[in-house]
Chains A and B, each alone.
Chain A
Amino acid sequence: MENSEKSKNRPRIGVYVCHCGLNIARTVDCEKVAHMAGELEDVVVAKDVSYACSEPGQHSIKEDILANNLDRVVVASCSPRLHEPTFRQMVQAAGLNPYILDMANLREHCSWVHMDDPDAATEKAMDLTRMSVARVRSLQPLEPETLPLTKRTLVIGGGIAGIQAALDLADNGYEVVLVEKRAAIGGTMAQLDKTFPTMDCSI
């Protein structure tokens, strides 16, 4: 709607506050958090959703990204250690670079640990979302680099472990360089006769 020169260069951020069923919503007032986020600078849309990670949840966020021409996304839900890969794929599927996503952890770090104090939990959720919006504003698209690789393995030590690893690799078509400091391979096992638990010969 705003078409001034200034707004053209501003980031266009979407914020999605997840209820996680009741996991977050039981303690945190998600609607209030989303409303607060909608007031922040550069935030174009802010919504609360029941399950952001679900198929319909992801779908609606993707549609939103396209419809609002978003270039940055905040998902305020669970730990990024759990769902960052999910949401990175989601924004990628909507045509964005996966690294322009940020997550605010409203579940593990908020609703689940402040169950007795919903007001304070909601305050915290708002802060975490504010911080996430602040961060997402200057996130940059990043591209992984692809580098050539030598399909060969060095195995250091020619005991039973080194021998087995070398054979598995070589039988799978990989070249192996096996380095043994003694004059012959075999390691300790070459010195054993019968071995537990089968009591048969070792070589």
Chain B
Amino acid sequence: MTDVGRHPRIKLYTLSEVVDVKGYVGNFDVKILKKARYVDEKECTACGDCTKVCPVVRPDEFNLGLSSRKAIYSPFPQAVPSAYVINVNECLGQNPAVCSKCIDACEKGCINFHMSDEEIVENVGTIIVATGMEPYDPTEMDEYGYTRFENVLTSLEFERLVNAGGPTRGEVIRPSDHKRPRSIGFVQCVGSRSARKGKSYCSNVCCMNTVKSTLVLKEHAPDMEVKVFYIDIRAFGKGFEDLYKRSRRLGVQYLRGLPGTVEELPNGSVRVAVENGATGALEFHDLDMLVLAVGVEPPQSTQRLQEMLGLQLTSDGFFLEAHPKLQPVDAATRGVFYAGCAEGPKDIKESVTQASAAAVRAIRLMHKGEISSEPITSEVIVERCKSCGRCAEVCPYHAITVDVKKKTPAVVNTAACAGCGTCAAECSFGAITMNHFTDKQILDQVDALLDQSPQEKILAFACNWCSYAGADYAGVSRLQYPPNVRLIRTMCSGRVDEKFIWEGFAKGAPVILVSGCHIGDCHYIDANHWTEKRVAKIHKKMDKLGIRPERLQLEWISAAEGIRFANVMNHLEALRKSVTPQEISQTVEILKADEKSVH
């Protein structure tokens, strides 16, 4: 930590949060709000004279309230930066008439009540999100009595208790009477792996943290009775099984089953009622202290950052990586990377590994000092643009600006454009060309495939990243399916313009498929939402025109779903067989008569 404090190339802002991010890969402008510390960070020598005279006593949050601190304090003994800090909400001294004791005590004159919050803008090329996690608050799990009984603690509180630098200097005592407990119980999966309370995922670190704690206890007090209540012990990492075995060898009792209730006994101990999973019998265990192995959750700031940077979240609320196996630290937004628990619960070793990986991924992007953009981007045909703003609204990357009021034509920021083609598909005035996937290029493919015997063919649009890849996977797996499907590749299903569909039907296609990544997995953030909306809109129009809406299908097929791809092809072929030549020629007639409304 101290290396960070003195590194000439690291600029450290504490008490600070990112409040706005503008720009794109290579050139982000980041607005940072730095809260006032009221102590000069550079001048303060951490002598502590101020703290001695401060009259305000408050619980110390670093020790989770197990000890106290003053309104002016050092966050913790080895803190970086080491400068003291004032909590203004607690300080009496904004009005020096009330209190200015610390100002008088500080010989160097570092304390300044007039400091104010600052807003700073920094320009950077890449961003690493390492916002970590927050421990679960077990208040809602009333059955464990966390808020009711003094001797029920969370694992983090217990960490402070056994910490040599903590409030008790590492001596384990129980909060109610400061006596050494003779027995301690641990409850696993608190706030994790539950469909009812807390989270449904496994928090990954609490099993091993408990194993560690039992070893620490047994080391200090071999005769202490230590019991662990658990569902199953997850000791999957390198060296973990050894620690677990050692813990068992030292006499720690592992009891399968989570407590149903916890009651307090007159002497402050607790009685734990648990159904023993091995015997099925209801057991009662009297313990001097109980530790809840709390899980971890995404920090509160996650959603704000997600919106600011255009990132995605998993259903668990952690940040979603670009690819779970092959790009585990990249965000889908170019130039943004993840490290540590921000991406999901993990231990220190994994956090550090990811951090180094993220650093290298960032360096890989930056080392040339310039960045070349993929030329598959959209382009505005200024003369046709009506400044309606639709393209800017649908672009997942906010890569288009249109001043709707001033009626200035749309402008594409090619550096930010990822090339999904959604804007081109959504512009009603044909004012956007999608390079390399132009209307003409795609329509010519549609016409070529429907040139001969269209009634026998199935026209299918597939996005490059998921559905086309899924078709490749079907091929690699040698799955056999009907041979009359013809795929047209677009980068994103969002590119599939309504006019491509009408062109297909007008040229006699019996069945058309639009396919893309599953909702939530879109390679272009959420461009496939627009695909979904567009297809729904076309379905409505088909219905109105008297064309069977089933003839246009929408399917989400991932790169791993070769089997699903083949199944969809079989389904389409069955559907195609249900479309008669009369039905096709009727459709062709309808569309001929109705050319205007569908284009």
Report A's interface with B, CB cutoff 8 A. 79-82, 99, 105, 107-110, 112-117, 120-121, 123-124, 127-128, 130-131, 133-135, 137-140, 142-170, 172-197, 199, 202-203
Contacts and interface: CB of A to CB of B under 8 A. Distances in A.
A85 to B, nearest CB: 12
Contacts of B273: none
Nearest to A190: B76
Contact of A150 (B123, B133, B349, B469): B123
Given A130-B449, A177-B11, A159 B124 contact: no
Interface string B319-339: 000000000000000000001
Contacts of B201: none
B434 to A, nearest CB: 11
B469 A81 contact: yes
Nearest to B376: A142
In this complex, the member of A82, A168, A196 whose beta carbon has the largest number of chain B beta carbons within 10 angstroms is: A196
B512 to A, nearest CB: 15
B163 A184 contact: no
Closest 8 CB pairs of A and B: A161-B340, A108-B475, A162-B130, A149-B26, A164-B355, A168-B359, A184-B79, A142-B375
Interface stretch (B191-199, B222-230, B483-491, B518-526): B483-491
Contacts of B211: 196
Contacts of A135: 441-442, 444-445
Interface stretch (B143-151, B236-244, B249-257): B236-244
B163 A193 contact: yes
Nearest to A165: B355
A191 to B, nearest CB: 6
Given A81-B464, A81-B469, A163 B18 contact: no
B483 A109 contact: no
Contacts of A172: 359, 363
Nearest to A102: B441
Contacts of A181: 15-17, 301
B30 A154 contact: yes
A183 to B, nearest CB: 4
A80 B489 contact: yes
Interface in B23-75: 25-28, 30, 32, 37, 62, 75
Contacts of B1: 163, 185-186, 190, 203
B491 to A, nearest CB: 12
Contacts of B556: none
A190 B78 CA distance: 9
Interface residues of B, number: 128
A109 B487 contact: yes
Contacts of A152: 122-126
B16 A179 contact: yes
B279 interface: no
Nearest to A189: B348
In this complex, the member of B8, B448, B566 whose beta carbon has the largest number of chain A beta carbons within 10 angstroms is: B448
Contacts of A137: 444
B15 A153 contact: no
A109 B447 CA distance: 20
Interface string B352-377: 10111011101101111111111110
A149 B468 contact: no
Contacts of B494: none
Given A107-B475, A108-B476, A196-B211, A153 B130 contact: no
A140 to B, nearest CB: 7
Contact of B475 (A109, A193, A199): A109
A173 B483 contact: no
A182 B348 contact: no
Interface stretch (B164-172, B387-395, B580-588): B164-172
A153 B126 contact: yes
A157 B129 contact: yes
Given A144-B374, A149-B125, A160 B355 contact: yes
A203 B362 CA distance: 26
A178 to B, nearest CB: 5
Interface stretch (B90-98, B154-162, B181-189, B421-429): B154-162
A131 B435 contact: no
6 contacts: A109-B471, A178-B11, A180-B16, A185-B80, A188-B156, A193-B164
A11 to B, nearest CB: 12
A152 B25 CA distance: 11
B14 A180 contact: yes
In this complex, the member of A143, A161, A180, A202 whose beta carbon has the largest number of chain B beta carbons within 10 angstroms is: A161
B418 to A, nearest CB: 14
Contact of B32 (A82, A112, A179): A179
A26 to B, nearest CB: 12
B507 to A, nearest CB: 13
B563 interface: no
B209 interface: yes
A108 to B, nearest CB: 3
A187 B132 contact: yes
A120 B237 CA distance: 52
B354 A161 contact: yes
A153 B170 contact: no
Interface in B426-457: 435-436, 438, 440-442, 444-445, 447-449, 451, 457
Contacts of B131: 156-157
B347 interface: yes
A154 B128 contact: yes
A86 to B, nearest CB: 16
A194 B212 CA distance: 8
A164 B443 CA distance: 51
B305 A156 contact: yes
